[in-house]
Structure 1
């Protein structure tokens, strides 16, 4: 009788164990099925050709529609606004985020992971003037310079000043967005502007002068970021996201003229101007050792200028 009870107990244990495993399996499947929507940012400037192509050709929609996952683009261009939305679980992917914004958000506790480099474009970030007395960066001393604070462009200004024996305190830096900086430069309320992308090209074409760009100062590293929580729960979706982006870059290379035509219409430039700007960009998505070093340099800039309070280990915010 005791032996029979033992056998019954063992049988029940096995059944319960199998039920638990089955339930776990079902729960895991349910978690995958719960992904009905993917939210990502759409940032077309300065010249984010892959995003423009991906949106117009519905590349992500086609990848995920077979799983009944709806893809939604959100045109949020401000780095802090992007990372706040990610932290609030309103976005899963930040597709083209400045390295500065990624580092600042992570240092403030936002759970994020850099899954690939979006672009590098030192020549696309410029300091531009209409003042004939400014011939070299050394002539910035005592001048008013406008541009967005805590960004790649701000890093360019500080790096350029230091390279020429000056400090930020030697100029009057005014925090303003790119459109405002263009207007201020044109009405001469500032002496130089920190500009990038089509805005910079249009100002130069209208007769303004580039005094410095990022070459030898800053790479202008832009990254793609995923929610750390989402990556942990759905690594296969993140892998598929990256696969779509990789295929987009191949498409651009294989269908260059078509891609440039689509991009020029979206950013309001001529096709030849778009091609000129595109030559400034490196869209290789692989994260290289040099990229990690550049992000470390960016963190040093943020810490040194009081824009970041808590230092982080850059490797910790990169997808393994």
Structure 2
């Protein structure tokens, strides 16, 4: 009997120890000591707002407050920043000051990625070959072949610059055969108007303004360049917050649905935001394809763009275009 009572006491001690261990385990963290399991909270998202040449989805997103509505429910502040220059956009992204480039030229995205900027293309923003133009006020210039020896102004390393080089190449000319002056679109429009250049590389409302003032179209991008504009995200942001990136893509789809279902309202909003007439907004809208899906033809166009950059001394090394793309499901 003494042995039995002794065994019972041993069993009781073991059971009490086991229960104490179980209780303590249930109250403690399941992670090993020293592991930080705290999830970083996002309190703001910075997105570029680029309304020109005629970025109707962005204009609708801003006017309807679509991003604020989507992320506001989680107390996430949305900042729409008007940074229109491609290089300035990618520099700000690299510095962590931007999370999404909501309309950046394929040229700028490729240049940035090739130079080490951590970004991913998540969709196409637009394709608009008709929206990119070479314009002139000179009676001597009828085709791109007539640009030989002439002064041409426009933004370097852009879709418009690519259009110029491609147009020259189809006429057995190169940039060495013209006097190319690098300048932004407003400066090119002003220079064309005051006669300090013979031809200007213009797009969107600036091109339309020049045409209304009497300028003639030397060529558009049709058959030469697609004018591919993309949407890109900071790589670190994508890796940390894939669900927020999906929600960004969802908002973009919502803006496209709004345009489709409320086209006249979209024209009105766009006209007000850009200073165009509603008739001009309607006309220019026909130049654009806003389908965000990345097609095989888009990938090939980006590869052509990369070759253009390399052949013209703006890019030392090439990167995998497919590796630059992350499709958001």
TM tier, smaller:
over 0.9
Q: Work out the CA distance in 1 between the residues paired with 2:133 and 2:312.
A: 20
Q: Work out the CA distance in 2 between the residues paired with 1:102 and 1:134.
A: 33
For structure 1, the residue ranges without an aligned partner over 5 or more in a row are none
Displacement of 1:43 in angstroms is: 0.5
Displacement of 1:21 in angstroms is: 4.0
Deviations 1:209-263 (A, max 9, x none): 0010111111000011100000000000000000010110011011000000010
Q: Which residue of 1 aligns with 2:256?
A: 249
Q: Which residue of 1 aligns with 2:7?
A: none
> SS at the partner of 1:20?
coil
Q: Which residue of 2 aligns with 1:19?
A: 29
Q: Work out the CA distance in 1 between the residues paired with 2:33 and 2:219.
A: 62
Equivalent residue in structure 2 for 1:129, among 120, 136, 157: 136
Deviations 1:85-119 (A, max 9, x none): 11111110010000000000000101000011000
Normalising by structure 1, what TM-score? Answer: 0.93
Q: Which residue of 1 aligns with 2:317?
A: 310
> SS at the partner of 1:212?
strand
Q: Work out the CA distance in 2 between the residues paired with 1:251 and 1:23.
A: 51
Give 1 or 2 for the bigger CA radius of gyration. 2
Deviations 1:156-205 (A, max 9, x none): 00000011111111111000011111111111111000000000001101
Aligned length: 315
Displacement of 1:24 in angstroms is: 11
Report the RMSD for the aligned CA atoms in angstroms: 2.4
Q: Which residue of 2 aligns with 1:301?
A: 308
Equivalent residue in structure 2 for 1:100, among 90, 96, 107: 107
Normalising by structure 2, what TM-score? Answer: 0.91
Q: Which residue of 1 aligns with 2:43?
A: 36
Equivalent residue in structure 2 for 1:143, among 120, 131, 150: 150
Equivalent residue in structure 1 for 2:84, among 77, 85, 107: 77
Q: Work out the CA distance in 2 between the residues paired with 1:21 and 1:236.
A: 24
